[in-house]
Each structure stands twice: as structure tokens, then as C-alpha cells.
Amino acid sequence: MSILQQNYGISPKLEAIGEEIEAKCMPYFQRIEKIQQENQLWVLDCFRKEEIAPAHFAASYGYGYDDLGRDKLEKLFARIFKAEAAIVRPAIASGTHALALGLQGLTRKGTKILSASGAPYDTLEGIIGHKEFVEGSLCDMGAEYEELPLKDKHIDFSALKEKAKGKDLIMLQRSRGYQDRPSLLIKDIEKACKIIRSVNDTAIIFVDNCYGEFVEDREPLEAGADVIVGSLIKNAGGGIAPTGAYLAGKKELIERISYRMTAPGIGGEVGSYAAGYLPFYLGIFLAPQTVAQALKGAIFSAKILEEFGYAPSPKFDEERGCIIQSVCMHERERLIQLCQWIQRVSPVDSFALPEPWAMPGYTDEVIMAAGTFVQGASIEFSGDAPMREPYMFYMQGGIVYHQVKAAMLCAIQDMNGEEL
């Protein structure tokens, strides 16, 4: 008897189905491994060129003047993402915090902002302040905000050419957020950047890169973006970083953002971290491998959920621009079941039972599975959903593929017990 049968209660029939699903996924796993190899060797070479040494892992205190570990980490991130400069700070609490820093640092009174990939992620609504007054938001600062609606769930490239004219800052969100649109591929970002540059050579192209790092063999700065932003408890932290976020891009723009991060005239020259920088170096080194594990888990999940009548997006054989796997569960109770099994088959808080609740920053009740070592780390296997029709569930992460597989098998068996 296998451990799936003995310890997780999986029937022999379902375990055999799982093995068949894996076999069908294998060509796509191999494609992921090829991208992983390219990205891993690139990151390794960046470490070599920056001459990373144990001295860079040391803790720092106080103002952090001449902090070798901090400064070298930012040079390393800049090299990895092919940027002129980067900010990489444990003190940035989340990806949303980093997006706020970036957008506020680049916004002045009268700045014309366009969201070119439709409505942004829910938590950005307060940062922008376009739906209701929020003190300190971009609109409160005097910015003018506009959204370009999607066309058939994709960027409306034909309309973008006209809308981009006269704009000062144009936002692109790589992941789908709580939408059913596909994630942006690098080729989509590149096409958008070319269209924008054909009519506007001064606009700042600002990409929310959360969930997208190392999914493909290029990053948005290589496709024409000016600034990218991401969280270290998502892809770029490799499941190791305990907190933090990064911004990378053109030196002048990163400097402007740094004055928002600390104070005008001071910028990135201060900021210490008493816990030491080793987890951030190790995290970015492991990130390509970790992302590959997450993608394999997403591919397996998409295929097995589809086999049992649910509607995954993307499908198992489609191109991916981020690690998020969404699935239409059709029914509220099915969504809750799936979320609860992700929690049960977790290394942390497996005994907890997720329930929908009114989470700050969201317009609907949200259910969230997060049996993670780092609170809120969505590079670890987790999932969440707003409790609204058609009951779309959003899974992300999975630093170990076999955990994802086991959770999916348990959920499928619970939802289809009689026939299995």
C-alpha cells in the first residue's frame, strides 16, 4: 500500500488516475524544466559576476550606512532582472506596499495614469483612490486615472495606441488577479510596450511583476518596461525570504522611488536589517527551481480538475505568464471544499479549517488557505477566492510539487467520493 493510500486515504483507483494525469503532463513538465535551467544558470552567473561572499549575509544596524549586504543584494537583483538599479528591502511589507511606493514615487499633481490591462488587483483600488476618496491615494495627490477595458479578456491593443497618447505613467499587471483573463505573457508586454512607444516616448511603463518572475526565460524590462515590482514572499524569494519586496528598472526612476521609501535627499542610502541578508540571497538563488515546482503543481492541478468537470484557466497545456492557477468551481460549497483540502495537506496549520471572512482591502468575503511557513507567502502552496459567482478559486505556489499533487487528489476524492 502506498503512502497516498495509507496516510491520505486515496483510493487505488484515484491514485492510478493521478499517475495517468502525470504522464499526460510530462511534456509540459519538460518545457518548464528547460526554462528553469536557463533561468537557474543565468541567476548563478549573476552571483558569480557580483562576487557574492559570506560577508554580504551579515546583519546591519541603525541607519545602515554603507551596508555591504544591502547594497550588494540590490546590485544582484538589478543584474538578474537586467535593470540599471534596484531597491530590495525587508522593510517593504508586501507587494502591494512596493506597488504603492513605486506609484506614489512616480506620481505628481496632474500625472496622467492609464491602467492598460483592465482593472487592477483589488488591493490597488485604495492606492489609486479612483472609486472613492482615500487620503494619500494617487487621485488624492492630484493624479488623473483611467482604465483601458479588456477586449475578449486580453489587452485591447488597437485601443491602446490611442489611449497611450499624452499619458505619463502606464500600468501593466502581469498576473490575472481576481479576474478570469489570462496572465500577460512576455510577448504581450513587449507588444504593449512597442505600441506605447510608437505614440509616446516619455511615458513610464510600470509593470506589476508579482507571481511572474522566472515563469518565462525573459522578464518585462527586457520587453521594454521601465520599472518592475514584485514581492519577496512570492516568486523572487524562492520560498526562503521571510519578508520584503523589490523594485527594479531605470536608475533615475528607482532613485525617485527611493525618496518616497525613506525621505527626499536620503533615498536608498539608509536602511538596516538586524536579522541578516542570507535568506534573501538564498531565496533569489533558489527562485527558478521553486517557481518550476509551483508551475508543475499548477499544470497537474489544471489537468485533474478538468478531468473531473471543473473549468481551469489556464488549461494544463496552455502557455503561462505567472504561477496562478484559477478554476471555476461553479458552486460555493465545492470552492470551500477545495480550499479546505489545500489547508489540510499543508505542513503548517493543517488542523485549521478555512472559512469565508471579511478580509481588509477586499470588497467581498474571501476564503483563504495558507498553511505556509511564512505568513501570506503565496509562493508556498496556497489559495484564495472572493465569495462571488461563478466561484472562481485562485491557487498559487507550491515549493514542493508532491504536496500539490496530494492535496488535489484528496480534494477530488472528497468531492467525488461515491465514484472513486
Q: Which residue has the higher pLDDT, 361 or 257?
A: 257
Flag whether pLDDT at 360 surpasses 80: no
Boundary (domain end) residue, out of 229, 254, 279? 279
Domain of 132 in residue numbering reads as: 58-279
CATH number at residue 405: 3.90.1150.60
> Do you find a cis peptide bond into 390, omega within 30 degrees of 0?
yes
Query: In this structure, are 267 and 415 located in the same domain?
Result: no
- 331 belongs to a structural domain: yes
Average pLDDT, the chain: 96
Query: In this structure, are 393 and 319 located in the same domain?
Result: yes
- 52 belongs to a structural domain: no
- 25 belongs to a structural domain: yes
Helix (H) or strand (E) holding 334, with range, is helix 332-344
- 53 belongs to a structural domain: no
- 50 belongs to a structural domain: no
| 3-state SS record for 290-328 | HHHHHHHHHHHHHHHHHHCCCEEECCCCCCCCCCCEEEE
Query: In this structure, are 265 and 229 located in the same domain?
Result: yes
For 195-216, what is each residue's pLDDT tens digit?
999 999 999 999 999 999 999 9
Q: Which segment, 156-160, 359-363, 415-419, is predicted with the most confidence on average?
A: 156-160
Helix (H) or strand (E) holding 125, with range, is helix 124-128
Query: In this structure, are 255 and 299 located in the same domain?
Result: no
pLDDT value for 278: 98
Query: In this structure, are 315 and 264 located in the same domain?
Result: no
- C-beta neighbour count of 384 within 10 angstroms: 20
Flag whether pLDDT at 86 surpasses 80: yes
pLDDT band at 362; cut points 50, 70, 90: confident
CA distances from 269 to 51, 113, 208 (A): 21, 29, 25
pLDDT value for 59: 97
Query: In this structure, are 253 and 349 located in the same domain?
Result: no
Cα gap 95→75, rounded to integer Å: 20
Q: What share of the chain is helix, strand, coil (3-state, %, to 5)?
A: 45, 15, 45
Query: In this structure, are 369 and 327 located in the same domain?
Result: yes
Residue with cell 507588444: 191
pLDDT band at 417; cut points 50, 70, 90: confident
Boundary (domain end) residue, out of 256, 279, 302? 279
Query: In this structure, are 248 and 317 located in the same domain?
Result: no
Query: In this structure, are 201 and 76 located in the same domain?
Result: yes
Q: Which residue has the higher pLDDT, 372 or 1?
A: 372
pLDDT value for 24: 98
Flag whether pLDDT at 355 surpasses 80: yes
For 316-338, what is each residue's pLDDT tens digit?
999 999 999 999 999 999 999 99
pLDDT value for 418: 67
pLDDT band at 287; cut points 50, 70, 90: very high
Q: Which residue has the higher pLDDT, 187 or 362?
A: 187
Boundary (domain end) residue, out of 228, 248, 279? 279
Flag whether pLDDT at 364 surpasses 90: no
For 24-47, what is each residue's pLDDT tens digit?
999 999 999 999 999 999 999 999
- 49 belongs to a structural domain: no
- 130 belongs to a structural domain: yes
Flag whether pLDDT at 420 surpasses 70: yes
Query: In this structure, are 34 and 69 located in the same domain?
Result: no
CB-based burial label for 351 (10 Å; 0-12, 13-18, 19+) = exposed
Query: In this structure, are 74 and 217 located in the same domain?
Result: yes
What is the mean predicted confidence (pLDDT) over 78-105? 98
Count of domains for the chain: 2
Query: In this structure, are 170 and 136 located in the same domain?
Result: yes
Quick check: 294 and 379 in contact, CB under 8 A?
yes
Cα within 13 Å of Cα(146), Cβ side: 18
CATH number at residue 223: 3.40.640.10
Share above pLDDT 90 across residues of the chain, in percent, rounded to a whole number:
93
